[in-house]
């Protein structure tokens, strides 16, 4: 019998269970934009492993159903976004032209994209067989040029009864000036009621970053906070895939999984997958099955999901992370981390800033620090069982 919790098994991912309001809001926005009205963009925020990327993928399906063209961008750690936008708009314009044969209008817009790209210091060498069109998006002022680009692409879409959705993941890596330019570009398109919108995703700090970038951002975006599932949704995420295969979870087995995973979707799927493989069956998953599978689940997460992030750190950063874990489930005070390590907050500031920049940690409030990965404190205590003596830390 197939394991319904394996990636690609065809069942609804746990990350989508209970997310109906976010999906409906995006669908409403797409329908409003298609009809020439305003529709607010989205910024999904939350820790890693809660399903933000899964939701962005769901939005791609919505876009196709509403007659929108779509491109996905995943921002890398170095934070470059503008060249990726140019490449995405190129693909969208070519797709529009291929479908509707819009000819000269598409060529003009592609020329604007080419001019924009050539003006970027790190602009990509886009394969666009048209002459660059000077004026709309080549001033060298990124905010003005992105506004010109969004308007140009939005007008082409509107003129040909379609729309554009960009999904952008890992937006927290983008520098504030570039994020502000993105907001300006989208704002100008919204003022003109053009059918172009953005669904972004990032860590919990993204909402504040966007607000700091442009004060009117709060009017342009909704900011759904994506977190762990409510207990009834988490229980349904566990039981529904098994039920479709004629298998039932015992209540105490579900309770044990919910307690271990804290309802985070990625962990629910991983722990359920291992419990399914261990279970004697044939048509039940018991609490004993769960207990026997827990070491396997934890080992899988340690060797993959957790360790791949932890091993990017140096010795000083690992010590900081381990000190955070010593204080238990976060957020914790930066001053308390310094106290555990026997030093001062200012001495640790460079380490703290480096961990935030690499998105291993974030600052929920002033003077606080927390992991961006759920249950990372537990992993750090397993990985480094004891803090080294202070003399050995020097």
Tell whether the model's pLDDT for residue 92 goes beyond 90.
Answer: yes
Retrieve residue 71's tokens: 């491109």
Every domain of the chain with CATH number 1.10.8 lies at: 231-309
pLDDT band at 132 (very low <50, low <70, confident <90, very high): confident
Q: What is the pLDDT of residue 106?
A: 86
Span 32-42, average pLDDT: 92
Enumerate the CATH 3.40.50.300 domain ranges in the chain, comma separated: 19-222
CATH homologous superfamily for the domain 19-222 = P-loop containing nucleotide triphosphate hydrolases (3.40.50.300)
Would you state the pLDDT for residue 391? 55
End-to-end CA distance of the chain: 55
User: What's the confidence (pLDDT) of residue 78?
Assistant: 85
* pLDDT score recorded for residue 261: 95
3-state secondary structure of 154: helix
* Whole-number pLDDT of residue 394: 52
Q: What is the pLDDT of residue 137?
A: 93
CA-CA distance, 36 to 30, in Å (whole number)? 10
Task: Please tell me the predicted confidence (pLDDT) of residue 323.
Answer: 97
Confidence of residue 364 (pLDDT cuts 50, 70, 90): very high
| Under 8 Å between Cβ of 84 and 179 | no
Reported as a pLDDT band with limits 50, 70 and 90, residue 128 is confident
Q: At what angle do helices 104-119 and 142-159 cross, to 10 degrees?
A: 170
Q: Assign 69 a pLDDT band (cuts: 50, 70, 90).
A: very high
Comparing 111-120, 318-327, 375-384, the range with the smallest average pLDDT is 111-120
pLDDT above 90 for 305: yes
Residue range 5-15: mean pLDDT, rounded = 83
Q: Does domain 312-393 have CATH number 1.10.10.10?
A: yes
Mean pLDDT of 245-250: 95
* pLDDT band, very low/low/confident/very high, at 10 (cuts 50, 70, 90): confident
Residue range 365-375: average pLDDT? Answer: 95
> How deeply is 268 buried, as exposed, middle or buried, from its count of CB atoms within 10 A (0-12, 13-18, 19+)?
buried
Q: List Cβ<8 Å contacts ≥24 apart for 321-327.
A: 321/355, 321/360, 321/361, 321/371, 321/376, 321/380, 322/380, 322/381, 322/384, 322/387, 323/387, 324/361, 324/369, 324/370, 324/371, 324/377, 324/380, 325/376, 325/377, 325/378, 325/380, 325/381, 326/381, 326/387
pLDDT top residue among 122 and 30? 30
Share of the chain above pLDDT 90, in %: 78
Q: Does the pLDDT value for residue 327 go beyond 90? A: yes
Q: Residue 348 — left, alpha, or beta (φ > 0 → left; ψ -120 to 50 → alpha)?
A: alpha
The predicted pLDDT at position 124 comes to: 61
Q: What is the pTM of this model?
A: 0.92
Domain 231-309 has CATH 1.10.8: yes
Rounded to the nearest integer, the mean pLDDT of the chain is: 92
Query: What mean pLDDT do residues 177-185 have?
Result: 93
103: left (phi over 0), alpha (psi -120 to 50) or beta: left
Q: Quick: pLDDT tens for 189-212.
A: 999 999 999 999 999 989 888 888
Query: Higher-confidence residue: 118 or 276?
Result: 276
């Amino acid at each position: 019998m197939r394991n319904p919790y394996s990636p690609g098994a065809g069942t609804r991912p746990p990350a989508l269970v209970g997310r109906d309001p976010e999906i409906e809001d995006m669908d409403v926005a797409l329908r409003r934009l298609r009809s020439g009205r305003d529709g607010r963009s989205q910024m999904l925020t939350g820790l890693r492993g809660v399903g933000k990327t899964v939701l962005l993928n769901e939005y791609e399906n919505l876009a196709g159903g509403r007659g929108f063209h779509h491109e996905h961008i995943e921002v890398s750690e170095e934070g470059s976004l503008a060249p990726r936008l140019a490449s995405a708009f190129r693909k969208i314009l070519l797709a529009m032209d291929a479908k509707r044969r819009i000819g000269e209008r598409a060529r003009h817009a592609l020329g604007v994209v080419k001019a924009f790209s050539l003006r970027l210091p790190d602009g990509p060498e886009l394969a666009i067989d048209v002459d660059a069109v000077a004026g709309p998006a080549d001033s060298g002022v990124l905010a003005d040029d992105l506004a010109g680009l969004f308007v140009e692409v939005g007008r082409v879409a509107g003129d040909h009864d379609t729309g554009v959705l960009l999904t952008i993941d890992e937006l927290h890596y983008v520098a504030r000036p570039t994020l502000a330019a993105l907001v300006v570009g989208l704002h100008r398109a919204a003022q003109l009621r053009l059918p172009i919108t953005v669904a972004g995703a990032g860590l919990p700090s993204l909402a504040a970053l966007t607000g700091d970038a442009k004060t009117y951002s709060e009017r342009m975006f909704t900011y759904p906070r994506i977190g762990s599932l409510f207990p009834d949704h988490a229980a349904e995420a566990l039981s529904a895939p098994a039920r479709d295969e004629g298998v039932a979870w015992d209540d105490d087995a579900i309770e044990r999984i919910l307690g271990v995973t804290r309802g985070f979707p990625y962990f629910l799927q991983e722990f359920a997958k291992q419990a399914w493989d261990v279970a004697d069956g044939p048509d039940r998953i018991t609490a004993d099955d769960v207990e026997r599978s827990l070491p396997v689940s934890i080992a899988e997460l340690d060797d993959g999901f957790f360790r791949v992030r932890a091993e990017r750190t140096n010795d000083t950063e690992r010590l900081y992370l381990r000190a955070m874990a010593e204080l238990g489930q976060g957020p914790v005070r930066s001053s308390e981390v310094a106290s555990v390590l026997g030093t001062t907050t200012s001495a640790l500031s460079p380490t703290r800033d480096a961990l935030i920049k690499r998105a291993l940690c974030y600052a929920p409030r002033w003077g606080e620090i927390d992991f961006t990965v759920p249950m990372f404190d537990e992993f750090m205590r397993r990985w480094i069982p004891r803090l080294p003596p202070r003399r050995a830390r020097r």
